[in-house]
Structure 1
């Protein structure tokens, strides 16, 4: 089976208040449990805010490290889940379930193994 990255895009700023976030997280937990029960779940994690990011890059044969995200934007990747699915259609269905639960956009992208 192929593996897919489900990236969760969230708006910059503070998280919603508990009365909004708690029901969403219960739904996300239910989708995560379903992924585990069906064997689709491989790995997942949440990310700290973009302000905690560092970018390392090569410029003119020198390695530079800068604070903050690589790109400025109104959204950032707030978390991700790696799943295994037989094909893109099945991975997209998991993306739909996660988007419905978390109420945020989900990018679904196949993982390429052995490229780095």
Structure 2
């Protein structure tokens, strides 16, 4: 079963984190990614740019609207997504608890409903 592990945490402001702290986080995520890959459960992983780099689009009213920045102002921002293929929710929880971001943020686990794989939608 596919699960998205969506990482949410408050974004640090310019200069709030030392280079040492950033380097430690990068090393922790590198080890986590390597462990997921070695276990054969990692489908993809992306750590996102800060929310300020976001562009939001909608056509809800029929016309294209493009907005700089995130749709909603929130204390926590979506910071990254890991897509895993695991047997069940317990396995997804097991991997989520090992994610370095669980120490300073929240990991949202959500099973995928459908996936576009090898040119076709699957359920």
Q: Does 1:17 align with 2:18?
A: yes
Instruction: With the length of structure 1 as denominator, give the TM-score of the two structures.
Output: 0.86
SS at match of 2:96: helix
Alignment of 1:14-53 (within 5 A): 14=13, 16-53=17-54
Provide the C-alpha distance between the structure 2 equivalents of 1:80 and 1:26, rounded to a whole number of angstroms: 17
Aligned residues: 112
Provide the C-alpha distance between the structure 2 equivalents of 1:40 and 1:59, rounded to a whole number of angstroms: 37
Q: Does 1:88 align with 2:89?
A: yes
Q: 5+ residue gaps in structure 2? A: 115-120
Query: Which whole-Å deviations, capped at 9, do the CAs of 1:55-77 have from their partners, x for residues lacking one?
Result: 11123322211111011111101
Provide the C-alpha distance between the structure 1 equivalents of 2:45 and 2:25, rounded to a whole number of angstroms: 17
For residue 109 of structure 1, what is the aligned residue in structure 2? 110
For residue 117 of structure 2, what is the aligned residue in structure 1? none
Provide the C-alpha distance between the structure 2 equivalents of 1:66 and 1:90, rounded to a whole number of angstroms: 38
Q: 5+ residue gaps in structure 1? A: none
1:10 positional shift: 2.0
Provide the C-alpha distance between the structure 1 equivalents of 2:12 and 2:24, rounded to a whole number of angstroms: 19
